[in-house]
Structure 1
Amino acid sequence: MSRTMKKKARAALDYPDTWASRAKHSAYRTANKVGPMAGMARDSAIGMAGNARDYAGSARDVASSRLEDARYWAAPRLDHAAVSFEEQIAPRVAAMMAEMARRIDPAPPIVRRRTRMPMMVLLGGLAMGAIGFALYKRNARQWADTMSDTKEAVRGKVEHVRHRAQQAGETMEQKADEMQNRMS
């Protein structure tokens, strides 16, 4: 084959002459192939982000309502415990401490009374702590029972929302298939 024919064949195929121009040409071809795929991926990601935002908003609403329910439940019980302690337990502890003081005190000198006073305060504090601990344990059990009921209710609502979301996804897929069939 002659030299002139080779030049004509090269000119007809229009290959770039330099390495940089070949790389640029290859990049253009790749971009033309990848561009539509990137657009589809972007559209899919936007749809998924919208779904995630909706699910997060729903979960936030459920959690905030449950937290508010818990606060409504806890406030009167704490108030009742405070009133109960003030009206029932505190007078009994005070009477018990006064009786103990009366029994112990055989009219000791003032100096001696000062040495026993810290012990009586310590014993009274221990008695009040034990009573408070008993009340705390009782209320903690009630709180735990209520929270387990609340947990089950929230779990049920989450399952319901998940089921509804799945149904909505299936419905959307069916409608997309119908639209695609109509367009074909």
Structure 2
Amino acid sequence: MAVALQRRQARKEAEEALSRFQEMAREQAERLTPYTTQAREAAALRIQQARGWTAPRLQTAAQRVEDTVAPRVAGLLNTAAQKVEPVPVVRRRRVPRTLVYVGVGAVGLAAVYGVLRLRQATQDAEWQANLENAREQVRHTREQLAAKARETRERLMNNTATSPEDEKTTQGATEGSSELNGRVKR
């Protein structure tokens, strides 16, 4: 028992430590998020500046090489300069957060509505299947009852058409039925 108690205690301590580390990681992530954003923006600015500084120098080198070295090398340098030249920053307009929330809410409502409709359709189909089974059972029972009624009618017709001797035998049969202990003799 002591081993099980120690294991439980160790699990509890491990879970507590894990929750403390998770909370500490969340706090550090919240604290460092602005710094990472600033670092990303600074790096993007430095890359932009480096491209702006490099592009004219590559063009100047291309002009000099064009005059002195082969035109083929100059074409390659011009192409490299065009590739390195910074792309003008296009400010994208951000979608307002409330509009995003409303859109997500609308999509969620549409999904819930679809699920409910699908569930209702499933229930309707199941109800229809049960109704069809009940109808089939009623039809089957009705056919059985009709067959029994025909059999009984035929017996009655045969009994009325029997001769007086048959009536005596049936009378004797009814008298002996108590002796048969509920079993029917045919």
Query: TM-score, structure 1 length as denominator?
Result: 0.32
Normalized per residue, the structure richer in helix is 1
Give the number of the structure with larger relative contact order, counting CA–CA contacts within 8 Å between residues 6 or more apart: 1
